């Protein structure tokens, strides 16, 4: 009786340790440059993955921005995908007049353990101001489709200076500066 209760207690303690203390090594997704200050109307911002040496098979990432300051023209797969020696999948969910960077992608062969640019976002400056880039979701998966612990940067932004020629300088864009 005493041995079985000891085994039960040890099992419960082990499970609590595993559930309460997730792995400390987390993958990181971040924007580069973290404070983009383009000098031309059309520019790019990269989304970068730091894998911390862990196998990553797929991802789904969403980031908000201010559509009154910048226009998202599209999202292209980065070298993390295009440099693979096997097939991969990348889907850009962007649509006109969006305020969301949203894409998904997967390595179709095996998991990838390298760091790199997973996406390049193409923008057009619409008016002067600051557009924050806020991560809304980061879902990374390994080859067993297990969700991985992922961290992301915060405080990222795009600053459009009034000296930059812009596509539109309407009253709506000026009001967006004060939102």
What are 131-151's pLDDT values in tens digits?
999 999 999 999 999 999 888
What does the pLDDT read at residue 84?
A: 85
| From 23-32, 47-56, 140-149, the region with the lowest mean pLDDT | 23-32
Residue 92 has pLDDT above 60, yes or no: yes
Residue 13 has pLDDT above 80, yes or no: no
Residues 6+ apart with CB under 8 A from 66: 99, 129, 130, 131, 132, 176, 179
Q: What are the tokens at 128? A: 């002067």
156-169 per-position pLDDT tens digit: 888 988 765 555 55
Domain ranges of the chain: 25-176
% the chain with pLDDT above 70: 77
Per-residue pLDDT, averaged over 19-39, amounts to 71
Per-residue pLDDT, averaged over 45-72, amounts to 93
CA distance 2 to 112: 48
Band of the pLDDT at 3, cuts 50, 70, 90?
A: low
Please state which CATH class domain 25-176 belongs to: mainly beta
| From 53-67, 99-113, 160-174, the region with the lowest mean pLDDT | 160-174
Per-residue pLDDT, averaged over 25-29, amounts to 78
| Reported pTM | 0.76
CB atoms within 10 A of CB 2: 6
Band of the pLDDT at 176, cuts 50, 70, 90?
A: low
% the chain with pLDDT above 90: 53
What does the pLDDT read at residue 96?
A: 73
> Closest Cα to residue 81, out of 90, 73, 72, 94?
90
């Amino acid at each position: 009786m005493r041995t079985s209760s000891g085994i039960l207690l040890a099992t419960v303690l082990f499970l609590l340790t595993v559930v309460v203390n997730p792995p400390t090594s987390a993958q990181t997704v971040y924007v580069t440059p973290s404070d983009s200050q383009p000098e031309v109307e059309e520019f790019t911002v990269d989304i970068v993955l730091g894998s911390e040496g862990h196998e990553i098979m797929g991802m789904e990432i969403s980031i908000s921005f201010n559509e009154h300051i910048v226009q998202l023209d599209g999202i292209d797969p980065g070298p993390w995908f295009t440099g693979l020696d096997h097939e991969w999948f990348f889907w850009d969910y962007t649509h006109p007049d969006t305020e969301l960077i949203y894409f998904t992608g997967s390595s179709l062969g095996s998991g990838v353990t390298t760091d790199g640019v997973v996406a390049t976002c193409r923008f057009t400056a619409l008016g002067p101001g600051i557009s924050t880039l806020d991560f809304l979701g980061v879902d990374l998966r390994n080859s067993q489709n297990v969700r991985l612990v992922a961290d992301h940067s915060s405080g990222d932004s795009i600053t459009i200076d009034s000296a930059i020629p812009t596509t539109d300088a309407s009253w709506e864009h000026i009001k967006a500066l004060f939102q």
